[in-house]
Amino acid sequence: MFEIYVEGSFSAGHALRGYKGKCENPHGHNYKVRLTLAGPSLDETGLLCDFVVLKQAMREVMASLDHKNLNDQAPFDQINPSAENLAKYFYDQASGRLPENGAGVRLSSVTVWETDTTAATYRPDGVAPRSESSR
């Protein structure tokens, strides 16, 4: 199995509804996002996917949230803009922006960091957690 990933960052504000503590108040984060793509084989040029394609999907999703109050943006006007919900949102939005690939290449996980030391990962059912690696 091959994996590649891209990372990016955006800034946004939010407040967690129903949370008892400091995070119930409006505050902001410099979020970092990692999209990880996995697949069993490479294409004829030796790539799992062109990084440009994966970066573009990530940037399109980030652009809709950058420098916004997440609580005012759908779907976070209905659900809490937690790191967990952001990771799922990025997965859903980026998946729809990636070209279909019949070779089993898929978005395997999305990780969203709120700080340097706190992050949440969304991985669809049936996808095993990956070990930490880099390229």
Residue pLDDT, tens place only, 34-48 = 999 999 999 899 999
The H or E element that residue 84 is part of is helix 83-95
- The reported pTM is 0.89
Chain centroid, CA 116 distance in Å: 16
Catalytic positions, please? Answer: 23, 67, 114
82-97 mean pLDDT: 96
Q: Where are the domains of the chain?
A: 2-122
d(CA 91, CA 88): 5
Q: Is residue 135's pLDDT more than 80? A: no
CATH 3.30.479.10 fits 2-122, yes or no: yes
56-80 mean pLDDT: 97
Question: How many Cβ atoms are within 10 Å of 48's Cβ, its own excluded?
Answer: 21
Q: How far is the first Cα of the chain from the last one, in angstroms, to the nearest whole number?
A: 14
Q: What is the pLDDT of residue 133?
A: 42
d(CA 25, CA 15): 5
